[in-house]
Amino acid sequence: MTTNEAMQARWDAVMMRNYGTPPIAISRGEGARVWDVEGREYLDLLGGIAVSSLGHAHPAIVDAVTRQASQVMHTSNFYMHEPGIALAERLARLLGEPTRVFLCQDGATANEAALKIVRKHFQGERAEIVSTNGSFHGRTLGALSVTGNPAKRIPFEPLPGPVTFVDFGDVNALSAAVTRSTAAVILEPLQGEGGIIAPTEGYLQGAREICDRTGALLIIDEVQSGIGRTGAWLASGSAGVVPDIVTLAKGLAGGMPLGAVLATGLAATTFAPGDHGSTFGGNPVSCAAALAVLETIERDGLLSHVTAVGQRWAAGFDSIVHPLLASHRGVGLWRALELSDDKAPQFEAAARRHGFLVNAVRPNAIRLAPPLILTNEQADSFLATLPAILDHSL
């Protein structure tokens, strides 16, 4: 029995069944590369599901975490600390207007906080949320209630509501669904778990106009799209849209657990003392890591780098002709390969055998969300191997 197989047996004996059994165990990483417990090397093109924004063991994060851990690791929300205040100040500048910040643990808890802001803001006068089919906002009950995937929702119903779902990208359907009884609209700039689906041009601007007309709040879920993933700090900012509430997590702290809610206007002042909290949210170590991520992205010009490497990939995908590769889509270093058949699980396994970690996000779609530091050479190595991976997926 290999070390990997032994660890799978131990996993099966003690872990709940919600994840299934992972195919390999990772022992270490460096940059965009990782090694499993057998010593085999992989190019990590998933980045911990768009989390490892600076890759693995980046010196800036290692130094920030080590330094902060040697000072104070936890204070609770009863006390202030410099990394938390500095991070909130930095994040507040992303929206370009007065903003208040709540720091939490992850994307689901960020969306839970956003939904609570909406409830408190309207004081029972409005309750309906409008979301989209194919969306994903988290697995806690509130976040799950606005997730447009029946297979994920139905086993846990009844859920908080009411929630109305409309097709993503259809501004007319959104306009018809949002009324003066609607409390909020929650959207992703691109649907991540849906397979990196972009809306039609002008969709986010249309959503902003609809919310302005009806008085509903606009929540933009940038948990997966934010902090450089698309080549911009915020994908909604690229569209020229300022939401009432933005939720962040994943790549924000480069692997440390951290989420954030940014709110403007009246939504920024809705919470009063005692309305919400998080024991671990915004802990000093995670905040220090996030500051290192933001500073490194800015200092190293990673936003333009992400755009350039993403365009390099797009051109490379265009040049590959294979019966299994139907198309590709995405922006920056957030891409999907659409297959002509439901062979995504086979593709994921074949890619792993060839030394690449990718994700079968849909039965016929492969998600690519590598570290933002992915080099041209590393991107090209995947392009060069892609035909063979496709061949071995049939």
- Confirm whether 63 is domain-assigned: no
What's the pLDDT at 247?
98
Q: 232, 244, 367: which is closest to 297 by C-alpha?
A: 232
Same domain assignment for residues 201 and 330: no
What's the pLDDT at 364?
98
Domain with residue 203: its CATH number is: 3.40.640.10
Same domain assignment for residues 149 and 97: yes
d(C-alpha 359, C-alpha 157), whole Å: 28
Residue-wise pLDDT tens digits, 81-97: 999 999 999 999 999 98
Same domain assignment for residues 327 and 361: yes
Local confidence band at 174 (pLDDT 50, 70, 90 cut-offs):
very high
Domain with residue 19: its CATH number is: 3.90.1150.10
- Confirm whether 226 is domain-assigned: yes
Q: Please answer whether residues 324 and 390 qualify as being in contact, where contact means their C-beta atoms are separated by less than 8 angstroms.
A: yes
Residue-wise pLDDT tens digits, 208-243: 999 999 999 999 999 999 999 999 999 999 999 999
What's the pLDDT at 253?
98
Which of the 8 DSSP states describes residue 240? T
Task: Using alpha carbons, list the distances in angstroms from residue 334 to 21, 367, 377.
Answer: 26, 7, 18
- Confirm whether 176 is domain-assigned: yes
Q: For residue 96, with 0-12 CB atoms within 10 Å meaning exposed, 13-18 middle and 19 or more buried, which class applies?
A: exposed
- Confirm whether 7 is domain-assigned: yes
Residue-wise pLDDT tens digits, 180-189: 999 999 999 9
- Confirm whether 64 is domain-assigned: no
Percent of all residues in the chain with a pLDDT value above 90, rounded to a whole number? 99
Same domain assignment for residues 284 and 215: yes
Domain stop point among 247, 268, 299: 299
- Confirm whether 66 is domain-assigned: no
Same domain assignment for residues 203 and 327: no
Same domain assignment for residues 78 and 179: yes
Same domain assignment for residues 124 and 162: yes
What's the pLDDT at 391?
98
Local confidence band at 264 (pLDDT 50, 70, 90 cut-offs):
very high
* Average pLDDT value for the chain: 97
Q: What are phi and psi of 261, to 5 degrees?
A: -120, 125
- Residue 389's H or E segment, with its range, is helix 376-391
What's the pLDDT at 58?
98
Residue-wise pLDDT tens digits, 322-373: 999 999 999 999 999 999 999 999 999 999 999 999 999 999 999 999 999 9
Local confidence band at 141 (pLDDT 50, 70, 90 cut-offs):
very high
Residue-wise pLDDT tens digits, 39-80: 999 999 999 999 999 999 999 999 999 999 999 999 999 999
Mean of pLDDT values over 120-130: 96
Same domain assignment for residues 7 and 107: no
What's the pLDDT at 25?
98
Task: Look up the domain containing 174 and give its range.
Answer: 72-299
CA dihedral 269, 270, 271, 275 (to 10 degrees): 170
Mean of pLDDT values over 248-265: 98
What's the pLDDT at 204?
98
d(C-alpha 63, C-alpha 69), whole Å: 10
- Confirm whether 169 is domain-assigned: yes
Domain stop point among 268, 299, 330: 299
Total number of domains constituting the chain? 2
Instruction: List the catalytic residues.
Output: 136, 221, 250
Same domain assignment for residues 89 and 229: yes
- Confirm whether 107 is domain-assigned: yes
Q: Which residues of 211-224 are buried (b: 16+ CB within 10 A; e: fewer)?
A: beebebbbbbbbbb
Same domain assignment for residues 290 and 311: no
* 41-44: strand order across its sheet: 26-30, 33-36, 41-44, 356-357
Same domain assignment for residues 359 and 380: yes
Domain stop point among 273, 299, 325: 299
Q: Please answer whether residues 188 and 249 qualify as being in contact, where contact means their C-beta atoms are separated by less than 8 angstroms.
A: no
Mean of pLDDT values over 268-293: 97
Local confidence band at 378 (pLDDT 50, 70, 90 cut-offs):
very high
Structure tokens at 212: 């302005």
Same domain assignment for residues 191 and 312: no
